[in-house]
Structure 1
Amino acid sequence: MRRPVTLRLLATLAATAMGATVCVALTSPQASAAVGSATGFATRNGGTTGGAGGQTVRATTGTQIHAALCNRASSSTPIIIQVEGTINHGNTTKVSGSSCNTAADVIELKQISNVTILGVGNGAVFDQLGIHIREASNIIIQNVTVRNVKKSGSPTSNGGDAIGMEADVRNVWVDHVTLEASGGESEGFDGLFDMKDNTQYVTLSYSILRNSGRGGLIGSSESDRSNGFVTYHHNLYENIDSRTPLLRGGVAHIYNNHYVRLNESGINSRAGAQAKVDNNYFQNSKDVLGTFYTDQAGYWQVSGNIFDNVTWSSRSGDNNPAGPNPTSNTSVSIPYSFSLDSASCVPSIVSQTAGANKGIRTSNGNCTPQSPTAGPTTPTPGPTTPTPGPTSPTPTPSQPSGTNLSIGAGSDGSSKASGTSYGDVRDGNMSTAWSPSGSTGSISIKWGSATSVSRINIREASGATGNIRNWRVVNHDNGAVLTSGTGAGVITFAPTSLRKITFEITSSSGTPRVAEFETYAG
């Protein structure tokens, strides 16, 4: 049973910093993991909710952040980490546990999911210490400052990236943050916001990126084209040499950003990338859009932008600016709704809303800043590729016909509560059931060879009917989301040949108990 909000639990975490036991105050589960809701591509692929529904933990050191991750029941148990104070090398050590994979001298979000890091109180500053997201999903970072992260010199952290994502990362929303350096690569710094090696469904919103040689990239090389579906909106890029961003393949939506003093180049679309560039304000800058430093072309669709004192170099060799009069050379479809501020007011609205410790204000699309309202970050159902489509179907109550393919198959999952088993969902017995170790988790059915499935039936155990709220069905072979929705029952989707299918519970109103996970060919 969920404890009342007024109760507090003091958890002593088995981690040490400077020889002292780390104690972190935990509150009861919260209704929301962040202020407001995710926007842009982070709303697709099942949505980005971070630690919504999980416990809230207060941390004032990097070690406490790691300890909070390691103290969870599983690596997917939702958690909201409220951070206040300065996080640095001196207070960030490795913590071990079954639900984490941390390291010293970096905030390591590795092989985990369902986490929110939220700056509170007098602010959170990650000083010379980067945030590394690897093999992770459903992550929110909001209202923090990350500054002066170096890859060479002393001290070093995170390869020099303020925030870096790599290796099968999905659904990250970074909002109202300030990312800054004090120079370029020769001074030991790298990118402020980098994505590589299969990172998808990311939004960077209402943030400040400044005083760096490199703003950020999508793709580590011309051959790393597994990344994409990234939204950048209402950000300030100021005094950046290049990469605002650099795109190698993939799709990016770039709107309502203010660019000031881009010294060498700006949005660099190359290697087949497609950028939709809407209603941005470019000011006192050079070569703000084009394909640079490569002969592998990228593409863009432009509309409503203002170019204020922008200079353009001549086209030659691997230098191909889009100006002086940028025109579209492709068409990019955006699968989510959004409201565009007029480009003429972008400098004003961005200055009032972007960055950490600015009140987490946003724009209403009419160039007017809005005060925040906290609320549940409900995911927007959507396909795994950015093509508009209908909302995922609500499960129908009828019992599927045909053979239940789960009988005789294998099963596994993210975690299991005491007394439950993964095999309980495929034994044909409604009196046995699987439960995750927390309020969310996943259960999978798997076969030795490719099997066609187009319908599943999630049958909740007696006494737990209605506990499952939001979910998504995933083709575990490639990570594609087949469908998503609310409530257990019969779920249909396009016939898919796969070896393993996963039912992910992303929120619940009580302890989920799945008695049977039935699968059918049609």
Structure 2
Amino acid sequence: MRRTVALRVLAALATTATGAAVCVAVMTPQASAAVGSATGFATRNGGTTGGAGGQTVRATTGTQIHAALCNRASSSTPITIQVEGTINHGNTTKVSGSSCNTAADVIELKQISNVTILGVGNGATFDQIGIHIREASNIIIQNVTVRNVKKSGSPTSNGGDAIGMEANVRNVWVDHVTLEASGGESQGFDGLFDMKNNTQYVTLSYSILRNSGRGGLIGSSESDLSNGFVTFHHNLYENIDSRAPLLRGGVAHIFNSHFSRINESGINSRAGAQAKVENNYFQNAKDVLGTFYTDQAGYWQVSGNIFDNVTWSSRSGDTNPAGPNPTSNTSVSIPYSYRLDPANCVPDIVRQTAGANKGIRTSNGSCTPTNPTSNPTTPTPGPTTPTPGPTSPTPTPSQPSGTNLSIGAGSDGSSKASGTSYGDVRDGNMSTAWSPSGSTGQISIKWDTATRVSRVNIREASGAVGNVRSWRLLNHDTGAVLATGSTAGVITFPATSLRKITFDITSSSGTPRIAEFETYAG
């Protein structure tokens, strides 16, 4: 039974940079500020508890987040900020106070401690607004999405980092978040998860990092070696060019993560960094481990990993991949306890648990997701709360009515097997089909102008029905997930106006063969 807590609501005021008062709802202290507890290096150095034991504040704008920080008795007074809705440039301004140091157009966690930011209700999305942690300690960020943060173009925020940490940061736990961009540096984006200038004791867990040129780094240059003691576990790195992650000095522990479509280089250990890399699943990727783009070597200890359709460059100059058949060149001691899932189930367990709005589920160490203990400050999956994550409809066998909008449209994809074509999915012919070059891949339908779509029909070719095991349907324009599921067929979702829609196959039991990718307005 969900525990009910009586809350006493107070009116609290803080002042924006323009002098306007901001009203914040402040609740009485709760027993816990976040769901569950960290695993990894965030548990060391005194541990990471965030705002546990402090007041709870509800915020629906970035300005209200800043006001909650500024209204505290001191910069170290514990606080949990429950966030719901879309945080963007239009609702994020600087707020002044004796317990804060905020700025406009970024979520500023500067010179503070003992804070939890927790996505609740229908979810929290930081749209083109980055989260900046500077000279801060004991910070938890859980169950939020941060997307499309730019360092060039318009609007800009946080130097292009989705979450960035710098300057004497200690004990940060980032959990069940989705960090995503829509391209690389040439499109104005930078890193999804960056740590530099003496940032230590960090855990990134059960999170998704995708569609970016740069996944993230530890250390801003070969001379910035004061960072480290970072744990990465049960994360999905998907469609990342490089820095997945980049390690300059320090110690990192990377386990039970799924790396899919790493396009140039993955775990880049350099400048004396030491990485323990165990029970991960690397898939459809290139140079997933090694020392790249420098002559200053890093080191790794490897065990239990699976390399599925991974290609390796030849060693030459500053390109030094660990494979094929990677072997250890150091030994890394891990000072905390943890449970390992077998690598062969990592794609499935990460698919079920990683990212925002998944119910903050975790693994029990035996390839099985578990639900969190009920907590009054967070959404609990069930009839009284929204369904976690995107709708996962059961495809129906009935043929949609109306005009198939794919006929006459364009198409492209992530790869195509020999003898197949992207155009085969929109030719109205069930005897032709597209297949990816591996066991997973993306196929898209695109139009010259925005087109309203609310239903698609994914028709597998004869002899391949049932090969698709898990998928996501994406609004390619924004990166938003329209639906997820485990069986191809008819998929319905709220009507969306877009120029490109993508069917992303994330696992399969055999070679996928998509005969038709039909799209309909209703």
Normalising by structure 1, report the TM-score.
0.70
User: Could you say which residue in structure 1 is the equivalent of 2:430?
Assistant: none
The Cα offsets for residues 445-497 of structure 1, whole Å up to 9 and x where unpaired, read as xxxxxxxxxxxxxxxxxxxxxxxxxxxxxxxxxxxxxxxxxxxxxxxxxxxxx
Matched, 1:329 2:329: yes
User: Could you say which residue in structure 2 is the equivalent of 1:510?
Assistant: none
- 2:143–2:175 Cα contact (<8 Å) kept: yes
Secondary structure of 2:95's aligned partner: coil
Q: Distance in 2 between matches of 1:162 and 1:121?
A: 22
- 2:14–2:70 Cα contact (<8 Å) kept: no
Q: Distance in 2 between matches of 1:184 and 1:209?
A: 13
CA shift, 1:7, in A, is: 3.7
- 1:37–1:375 Cα contact (<8 Å) kept: no
User: Could you say which residue in structure 2 is the equivalent of 1:119?
Assistant: 119
Distance 1:289 1:18, change over 3 A: same
Q: How do residues 274-289 of structure 1 correspond to structure 2 at under 5 angstroms?
A: 274-289=274-289
Q: How do residues 302-381 of structure 1 correspond to structure 2 at under 5 angstroms?
A: 302-373=302-373
Q: Distance in 1 between matches of 2:295 and 2:196?
A: 21
User: Could you say which residue in structure 1 is the equivalent of 2:72?
Assistant: 72
CA shift, 1:84, in A, is: 0.2
Q: Distance in 2 between matches of 1:363 and 1:50?
A: 22
Secondary structure of 2:332's aligned partner: coil
User: Could you say which residue in structure 1 is the equivalent of 2:208?
Assistant: 208
User: Could you say which residue in structure 2 is the equivalent of 1:58?
Assistant: 58
Secondary structure of 2:348's aligned partner: helix
Q: Distance in 2 between matches of 1:108 and 1:353?
A: 28
Distance 1:17 1:167, change over 3 A: closer
CA shift, 1:10, in A, is: 2.4
AA in 1 matched with 2:27: T
- 1:36–1:374 Cα contact (<8 Å) kept: no
The Cα offsets for residues 368-389 of structure 1, whole Å up to 9 and x where unpaired, read as 000002579xxxxxxxxxxxxx
The Cα offsets for residues 282-302 of structure 1, whole Å up to 9 and x where unpaired, read as 000000000000000000000
User: Could you say which residue in structure 1 is the equivalent of 2:231?
Assistant: 231
Q: Comparing 215-224 with 365-374, which one deviates more in the overlay?
A: 365-374
User: Could you say which residue in structure 2 is the equivalent of 1:148?
Assistant: 148
User: Could you say which residue in structure 2 is the equivalent of 1:161?
Assistant: 161
Give runs of ≥4 in structure 1 deviating > 3 Å: 16-21
AA in 2 matched with 1:116: T
Q: Distance in 1 between matches of 2:374 and 2:63?
A: 28
- 1:100–1:110 Cα contact (<8 Å) kept: yes
Q: Distance in 1 between matches of 2:90 and 2:13?
A: 19
Q: Distance in 2 between matches of 1:77 and 1:12?
A: 15
- 2:63–2:94 Cα contact (<8 Å) kept: yes
Q: Distance in 2 between matches of 1:130 and 1:68?
A: 18
CA shift, 1:5, in A, is: 4.8
**Number of equivalenced pairs:** 373
CA shift, 1:129, in A, is: 0.2
AA in 2 matched with 1:370: T
Q: Distance in 2 between matches of 1:306 and 1:319?
A: 22
Secondary structure of 1:117's aligned partner: strand
Q: Distance in 2 between matches of 1:91 and 1:186?
A: 27
Q: How do residues 119-518 of structure 1 correspond to structure 2 at under 5 angstroms?
A: 119-373=119-373
- 1:266–1:286 Cα contact (<8 Å) kept: yes
- 2:14–2:97 Cα contact (<8 Å) kept: no
Q: Distance in 1 between matches of 2:356 and 2:173?
A: 14
Q: Distance in 2 between matches of 1:38 and 1:55?
A: 21
- 1:193–1:217 Cα contact (<8 Å) kept: yes
Secondary structure of 2:341's aligned partner: coil
Q: Distance in 2 between matches of 1:373 and 1:234?
A: 19
The Cα offsets for residues 198-229 of structure 1, whole Å up to 9 and x where unpaired, read as 00000000000000000000000001000000
User: Could you say which residue in structure 2 is the equivalent of 1:47?
Assistant: 47
Distance 1:224 1:217, change over 3 A: same
Secondary structure of 2:346's aligned partner: helix
Q: Distance in 1 between matches of 2:374 and 2:187?
A: 40
CA shift, 1:21, in A, is: 3.9
AA in 2 matched with 1:11: A
AA in 2 matched with 1:360: I
CA shift, 1:20, in A, is: 6.3
Secondary structure of 2:33's aligned partner: coil
The Cα offsets for residues 308-344 of structure 1, whole Å up to 9 and x where unpaired, read as 0000000000000000110000000000000000000
CA shift, 1:22, in A, is: 2.3
CA shift, 1:9, in A, is: 2.3
Secondary structure of 1:307's aligned partner: strand
AA in 2 matched with 1:197: N
- 1:34–1:374 Cα contact (<8 Å) kept: no
The Cα offsets for residues 106-165 of structure 1, whole Å up to 9 and x where unpaired, read as 000000000000000000000000000000000000000000000000000000000000
Q: Distance in 1 between matches of 2:153 and 2:276?
A: 37
User: Could you say which residue in structure 2 is the equivalent of 1:457?
Assistant: none
- 2:12–2:71 Cα contact (<8 Å) kept: no
Secondary structure of 2:366's aligned partner: coil
AA in 1 matched with 2:34: A
- 2:218–2:247 Cα contact (<8 Å) kept: yes
Q: Distance in 2 between matches of 1:5 and 1:99?
A: 28
AA in 1 matched with 2:279: N
- 1:312–1:324 Cα contact (<8 Å) kept: yes
CA shift, 1:18, in A, is: 9.3
The Cα offsets for residues 261-297 of structure 1, whole Å up to 9 and x where unpaired, read as 0000000000000000000000000000000000000
CA shift, 1:38, in A, is: 1.2
Q: Distance in 2 between matches of 1:20 and 1:356?
A: 33
CA shift, 1:233, in A, is: 0.2
User: Could you say which residue in structure 1 is the equivalent of 2:84?
Assistant: 84
Could you tell me the percent identity over the aligned residues? 90
CA shift, 1:8, in A, is: 1.5
Q: Distance in 1 between matches of 2:329 and 2:205?
A: 26
CA shift, 1:245, in A, is: 0.4
